[in-house]
A and B are shown apart, each in its own frame.
Chain A
Amino acid sequence: MTRTAHAYIAGAYELPERYYPDKTLAQLQGEAALGALADAGLGIEDVDGFFCGPDAPGTGPLSIADYLNLNLRHFDTTNTSGSSYTVHVAHAAQAIAAGKCNVALITLAGRPRAEGRAKGALARTDNPHQPDFQWEQPYGLAVLNVYAMAARRHMYEYGTTAEQLAWVKVAASHHAQHNPHALLRELVTVEEVVNSPLVCDPLHRLDCCVVTDGGGALIVTRPEIAKSLKRPLVRLIGSAATTQGQNGGYMDITTSGAVRTGPAALAEAEVAIGDIKYASVYDSFTITVLMQLEDLGFCAKGQGGAFVADGGLISGVGKLAVNTDGGGLCNNHPSNRGGMTKVIEAVRQLRGEAHPAVQVPGCDLALVNAIGGQLAVRHAPATLILEREA
């Protein structure tokens, strides 16, 4: 390959636990940061760029920068919910290309289990003053609702079944059984998913991701530095993000903004969707994965059900290995934000460091897609194309 890349992911680290009753948020942010730096073979003194979301306690980047004694030239607190950290990778690459920093640290950590919060990085982000909430709040819609609305409509338009959606969870459980850190390591069957209690019909409890404490961090750096380190070279060759909203009441609730970010990121990378060997696809709910696979172009619109069925997403079995760490559905959804772990598992795959049972042979090209916010209402999909440099 002759194409140039401005930035490489040199360090990736996922906190090992899924419940942290005795550690502070700052400690978790710090442990994640130091873990990723150690993975890269860099030190805290090397960091001159810092990217975090609202899960970082304090004022924007200031409190954690102070706590970790970061000496920063660049910082960014873009918040697009779960996709924030995927967006941060692209923003870090842009900052590096612009000469604004050399070593960018991206962190995520949260304790929704320990703190008893089922959703959101901030306490009840469902602010009634949010101007676009007419769609949801007064009529009893929470979060799951809009995903369930999309699922129901998808079933109607394309004949997608609850059993097909269940296969997304079944694949996640097949992968999670090999991940010693995964919250849920038990294999589940399609029958178990569709017979689990309905939370919001048509979605069942096992169609939903886990709630976990924890987090992770990434180190993005410039090519010269990445090549001086002793880690496999993983570089960013394409990225795209967008926002999608209700559009004044004229929105297709079965299509996500990934329909734009996928092709844009692939075009920038100058690769085709069929070249992708591994995909990390945001899995807040089973329907989230199915819709993204269609919108990204892994299959035609409406064919997601057939694509995921019968082990379609199981590494070594199906058409495309997806979320080989067990994903948000079984492994980890730290701070109710899945964008970070999506990047981390893609890095593992490209390095050849995924669990041997789920490692994709010769994995040299991976796609990451995160959905920030909520399908069927406002969301900010962000796509990354990552490549292993030989």
Chain B
Amino acid sequence: MANSKIVMGKDDVPMWESIERGAMELQKCCTCGAFRYPPAPVCPNDLDEKSEWTKVSGKGTILSWVVFHKKYFDDHVPLYNSVAIELEEGPFIVSQLQGAEPEGSWIGKSVELIYGEHAGRIQHFAKLSA
């Protein structure tokens, strides 16, 4: 077993740097305006190559969630959750919900991104919106 790792390809560096600053930026297509995730050289909507790193609001809703009971990584000790979040800018991302958990289904709950240390790196987490 080992720690989970982040991707640090050419496309990903600006995203992780923005996460370090506590304000995640994603690529926004210069032609159609679509945000995309994960970072990539082309827009999924119109395949345009020009994009601008643009700060996202960090607001979104939970699309799905899971709770791990089995250990897969040294740095993620069960019980821990992973949530798929549809950002208000459009694309969905994966994060982990911290703090209060919803009663019953988590799907559709409003969340916002917060930032914190994990395994020696800064990454985002989600918390339920007030």
Interface residues in chain A, defined as those with a beta carbon under 8 Å from any beta carbon in chain B: 128-142, 144-145, 148-150, 152-153, 156, 197-202, 246-251, 253
Contacts and interface: CB of A to CB of B under 8 A. Distances in A.
B43 A131 contact: no
A131 B40 contact: yes
Given A134-B39, A138-B5, 18 more contacts: A129-B9, A130-B7, A133-B5, A138-B4, A139-B82, A139-B96, A139-B123, A140-B96, A142-B72, A145-B66, A152-B66, A156-B64, A201-B69, A248-B34, A248-B44, A249-B90, A249-B92, A249-B93
A199 B70 contact: yes
Given A129-B9, A139-B95, A247 B44 contact: yes
B94 A135 contact: yes
Given A131-B38, A153-B107, A156-B105, A137 B5 contact: yes
B90 A141 contact: no
A322 B102 CA distance: 38
A134 B64 contact: no
A202 B105 CA distance: 12
Residue among A130, A197, A246 with most chain B CB within 10 A: A246
B82 A145 contact: yes
Residue among A128, A133, A141, A148 with most chain B CB within 10 A: A141
Contacts of A156: 64, 105, 107
B65 A152 contact: yes
A149 B93 contact: no
Nearest to A156: B107
A187 B88 CA distance: 47
Contact of A128 (B5, B70, B93): B5
Contact of A246 (B7, B35, B38, B66): B38
Contacts, number: 127
List 5 tightest A-B contacts by C-beta distance, closest first: A249-B91, A248-B44, A140-B76, A248-B36, A134-B38
B64 A149 contact: yes
Contacts of B80: 140
Nearest to A253: B64
A131 B11 contact: yes
Given A249-B37, A250-B44, A137 B67 contact: no
13 contacts: A134-B37, A135-B94, A137-B4, A138-B121, A140-B4, A140-B68, A140-B73, A150-B64, A200-B69, A200-B70, A201-B68, A247-B44, A248-B37
Interface of B: 4-7, 9, 11-12, 15, 34-40, 43-45, 63-70, 72-73, 75-76, 80, 82, 84, 87, 90-96, 105, 107, 118, 121, 123
B65 A149 contact: yes
Nearest to A133: B7
Residue among B35, B36, B66, B70 with most chain A CB within 10 A: B66
B65 A131 contact: no
B82 A248 contact: no
Given A148-B66, A200-B69, A250-B91, A137 B6 contact: yes
A140 B123 contact: no
Given A140-B76, A253-B84, A134 B107 contact: no
Contacts of B93: 135, 249
B95 to A, nearest CB: 6
A246 B12 CA distance: 16
A153 B94 CA distance: 14
A128 B73 CA distance: 13
Contacts of B43: 248
Contacts of A248: 34, 36-38, 40, 43-45, 91
Contacts of A128: 5-7
A134 B9 CA distance: 10
A56 B116 CA distance: 43
Nearest to A246: B38
B6 A138 contact: yes
A188 B93 CA distance: 37
B36 A249 contact: yes
Residue among A134, A137, A197, A247 with most chain B CB within 10 A: A134
